[in-house]
């Protein structure tokens, strides 16, 4: 079996692969590196309740946009 090229995979492909192969550490670390390189994180402090999400509309918008088919 030939070795997969994790670097050539899209973030979504790598995400799906990591979920299906949770014991593959190389894939996991490549995925985390790719997430870090793309820098599309939204940082926010820990929530005290679900109502706290109202203070972060950019987070809820991204979450809603990502879940659309």
Range of the domain at 25: 8-39
Number of domains in the chain: 1
- In this prediction, residue 59 has a pLDDT band, given cuts at 50, 70 and 90, of confident
Predicted pLDDT of residue 2: 67
* 29 located within any domain: yes
Over residues 11-46, the pLDDT tens digits come to 999 999 999 999 999 999 999 999 888 877 777 788
Number of CB atoms found within 10 A of residue 15's CB = 15
SS3 8: helix
Question: Is the distance from CB of 49 to CB of 41 less than 8 angstroms?
Answer: no
Residue 20 lies in a domain: yes
The tokens describing 30, both together, are: 């490549």
35 within some domain: yes
Residue spans of alpha helices (H) in 1-69: 11-20, 25-38, 57-67
With respect to residue 33, please indicate whether it lies within any of the assigned structural domains: yes
Q: Is the pLDDT confidence value at 68 over 80? A: no
């Amino acid at each position: 079996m030939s070795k997969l090229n994790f670097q050539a995979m899209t973030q979504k492909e790598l995400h799906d692969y990591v979920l299906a192969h949770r014991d593959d550490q190389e894939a996991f670390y490549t995925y985390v590196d790719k997430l870090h390189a793309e820098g599309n994180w939204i940082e926010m402090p820990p929530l005290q309740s679900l109502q706290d999400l109202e203070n972060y509309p950019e987070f809820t918008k991204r979450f809603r946009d990502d879940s659309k088919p």
